[in-house]
Amino acid sequence: MQKIKILKIEEGKAPFVKEIANKLEDCQAEVGGLIDCVCFEDGCLAVVNDEGKINGMKPNRRNGNDIICGPFFICGSDREGDFTSLTEEQIEDYTKKFGEIEQFTGHEPELVPRMMFLGF
């Protein structure tokens, strides 16, 4: 079983490096449910709980114009879209990016779940 090195980000805690099995069940366990991926420009991914806002998970960190709710982790990805380990440089970069423990009031407009329906 292949393991990957990730950067785990939990509410109210500093990011930390962790090694996990590269299996769907293990990834889901890290985020507490179904997973969704948010892509970064450098090819890394934030693996988040797909239903974090709907399930009432606590706000964790801002990412652009959104707020990620619940625990999440950062990993790399290859050309086939498979999860890969982070490099030391990526760990350093994302530790800086998500290092600040943010405080939320619970009334931020980004915390309202949004859905987009497309018709064809």
Nearest CA-CA partner of 32 in 51, 14, 15: 51
| Mean pLDDT, contiguous 10-residue spans, the chain (120 residues) | 92 96 96 95 95 92 92 95 95 96 82 71
pLDDT, residue 90, reads 97
Sign of CA dihedral 68, 69, 74, 77: negative
